[in-house]
Structures are given as structure tokens and as C-alpha cells.
Chain A
Amino acid sequence: MGKARLARPYRADWNSYGARPVEFSNLEATVELLKWVMRPNTPPPNIVPTVDGNLQLEWHERGIDLEIRIRSRGRYYVTFEDLQSPSRDWEGPITTNLSQLKAAIDSLSDRPD
């Protein structure tokens, strides 16, 4: 069952509205990013395919909404919302400097359930 669910987004039109299949290179880019930013106490993300064949990581817990769209290796778009402190909200593209993204992951990881 798990394999079947993973396999279908790699076919064209997996969303019934013309989505492109997820490219293997985008999977690699996603794994690479996760290796850089995840910590042992980081909750696992939801990994979501997007219509253009990319992947998006999402966390909606601990009072934080964090979404990272992986456009390619080293090119991300991040939206961070802290529901407990909205003044910390930000969004924007991230390329070589991952410090802001790592700080967002750290906030998520350090906050209790």
C-alpha cells in the first residue's frame, strides 16, 4: 500500500488536473535539504507533490505553519508562520544561505508539543 501511494505521483496527471510527474532529481534535492536542516527532535514533515513536478515539505504543528517548496537543488521558497507570535512571520526565496530556514526549523524543533 505504501509503495503504491508513493508510485502514483510519478505518473503524469496524478492529480487529475494535468500535474507533471515528480522528477527523481527533485526527490534527491528534497532528501539533500532534509539532511541539512532536520534535527533529531524535528517532527517529520508532510511531503507533498506539486503540479509542476516539484515537492513541498509542510509542518502544521506546535503552533507553527512551515512550508518549503523545493524548486530544484538549492532553490527553495519558504513560508513561516508562528501562530503564537505573528510578528515572526516571513516568506521568501532561499538559495545558498540556509541560516534563516535553519532558524525556522530550530523554532519548530525546540517547541514542545
Chain B
Amino acid sequence: MQGGYVDDPTIADEEVLLRRDPRWHFHFDKNLGRWRPSSAAFEDHPDGSPMSVHLISVLEGCGFPVESILADHDGYVVAGIVAGFVRANGQGICRKPRDNDPAHAKVVGPKTERIRKRFAKESSWVINPPVYLSSDPCKDSPAKSSGFQ
């Protein structure tokens, strides 16, 4: 597996992997009728190291709210994707805790355009896009798109 990382079986398939999403990485999908992240929101680091995520179970276990991963990141939202779906698309998940981010983990494996599109369509909002975006011409309310709340 990529860079010697090995999938960690202690991360349950039901685990929700969180990913911060800047304003430019989500838009309204008229085919689906909801706001969703772009496929570009699910890429490895430009230096080739695997994509970073945050494990919701670790955050909760430490007593941190999901909002804590948005500290100093004004304007961002949080998308979540289930570990089992990620694994079913050829990825492994490894814990990589940091001093200031004990929930940090890596998603390891090839992220082709097709796989990134699957992640984008399968993900759900854990922290929704701002309400002002409901002024989309399609009159959709972003709150409708939340899958984990």
C-alpha cells in the first residue's frame, strides 16, 4: 500500500471520516438536487502523501465537538464519508495522530477520477454549507443534504 501504510482494522467500517472543505470545493449538483463537495475535495497531498481525514470517534472520545476541526478555518464546512465505503473503493485507513490533532488519519490508495467522484457523491455534510447558499436558483436548502445529523 502507498508509502508503506497499512490499513488499520481497529478503525471500524462504520467510522465517519471527516474532511474540511473550503468554499471553492462544494457546489450545487442539479442532477442530485443537493449541495455536495467536488471530486477535487478528495485528493492526496500534492507531495504524494495520502489524503488527510479526521476520525469522528476519536474526536468524540476526546470530548471534542466536530466543530473543533474548523478552529482557525473560517468559511469551511465539513464533509463525512463512511470508512467501509472508502475501503470498498480500494483504500486503506491509518491513524496518524498529531499533537494538536489526535483524530488525524490518512486515507491510502489510488484516487482516480472515478473514485474521487464516488467519494464526492457518497459523502454527506457533517457541518452544512452556509444557509445563504440556499438562494441557489434551484431553491434547494443545504440543510436537506445533511446525512449524518
**Do they bind each other?**
yes
Given contacts A18-B45, A56-B38, contact A83 B31 (CB under 8 A): yes
Instruction: Please give, as numbers and ranges, the residues of chain B lying within 8 Å of A14 by CB-CB distance.
Output: 22, 24
Number of B residues near A (Cβ < 8 Å) is 27
CB-CB contacts below 8 Å: A1-16 with B: 5, 8-9, 14-16
Residue of A nearest to B72 (CB): A16
- Interface residue? B7 (CB, 8 A): no
The 8 A CB mask of B38-80 against A (1 = contact, 0 = none) is 1111011111000110000000000000000000010010000
Number of A residues near B (Cβ < 8 Å) is 31
Asked whether, in the complex, the Cβ of A58 is within 8 Å of the Cβ of B114, the reply is no
Asked whether, in the complex, the Cβ of A51 is within 8 Å of the Cβ of B40, the reply is yes
Given contacts A48-B38, A67-B113, A79-B114, contact A16 B46 (CB under 8 A): no
B80 to chain A, nearest CB (A): 16
Asked whether, in the complex, the Cβ of B113 is within 8 Å of the Cβ of A77, the reply is yes
Q: Label chain B's interface by main secondary structure.
A: mixed
Given contacts A17-B45, A67-B113, A79-B113, contact A60 B24 (CB under 8 A): no
Instruction: Please give, as numbers and ranges, the residues of chain A lying within 8 Å of B32 by CB-CB distance.
Output: 60
- Interface residue? B29 (CB, 8 A): yes
Asked whether, in the complex, the Cβ of B46 is within 8 Å of the Cβ of A53, the reply is yes
B143 to chain A, nearest CB (A): 20
Asked whether, in the complex, the Cβ of A20 is within 8 Å of the Cβ of B31, the reply is no
Partner of B24, one of A5, A20, A52, A67: A5
- Interface residue? B87 (CB, 8 A): no
A111 to chain B, nearest CB (A): 12
- Interface residue? B95 (CB, 8 A): no
Asked whether, in the complex, the Cβ of B46 is within 8 Å of the Cβ of A79, the reply is no
Asked whether, in the complex, the Cβ of B46 is within 8 Å of the Cβ of A60, the reply is no
Asked whether, in the complex, the Cβ of A60 is within 8 Å of the Cβ of B31, the reply is yes
Partner of A56, one of B31, B40, B46: B40
Asked whether, in the complex, the Cβ of B38 is within 8 Å of the Cβ of A58, the reply is yes
B110 to chain A, nearest CB (A): 14
Asked whether, in the complex, the Cβ of B46 is within 8 Å of the Cβ of A49, the reply is no
Instruction: Please give, as numbers and ranges, the residues of chain A lying within 8 Å of B44 by CB-CB distance.
Output: 51
Given contacts A49-B40, A51-B45, contact A16 B22 (CB under 8 A): yes
* Chain B residues within CB distance 8 Å of chain A: 20, 22-25, 27-32, 38-41, 43-47, 51-52, 73, 76, 113-114, 117
Closest 10 CB pairs of A and B: A61-B30, A60-B29, A46-B27, A48-B38, A51-B43, A52-B46, A50-B40, A48-B40, A51-B46, A79-B113
